[in-house]
Amino acid sequence: MTDKSFAQPFTQISVEYLAQCLRADEGTIQLIDVREPQELAISRIEGFVNLPLSEYEQWSQQISTRFDPSMETLVLCHHGIRSAQMCQWLVGQGFTNVKNIMGGIDAYSILVDPSVPQY
């Protein structure tokens, strides 16, 4: 028997996978960006809904009415740390198909789309 207590209940995806999802999206994915408004002012990817972690109290109660817990949900931040925290929380709220974007918008800018500003 293996110890799965340290296993993450969500998937880690690459920014290349994100790019494929964005190209193929037919309304089958939900996109959440947990960065702060001042970060969004510098750099953003179209289609993401902004839910800043610092404003958790304002949006946390409506999460399961604003988003479908069974739909594929991709979460973005600057480097992938805050989005991993959000993924963990979403799983705790009953979301079943949550994916953390490794490297965040920073990696997306470097590896996928250099027109997205880095900060």
Q: Which of 18, 51, 77, 105 is catalytic?
A: 77
CB-neighbour burial class of residue 58 (10 A; exposed 0-12, middle 13-18, buried 19+) = exposed
**3-state DSSP of 33-45:** ECCCHHHHHHCCC
Query: Of the candidates 118, 111, 100, which has an alpha carbon nearest to the alpha carbon of residue 19?
Result: 111
**Residue 21 annotated in active site:** no
Residues noted as catalytic: 77
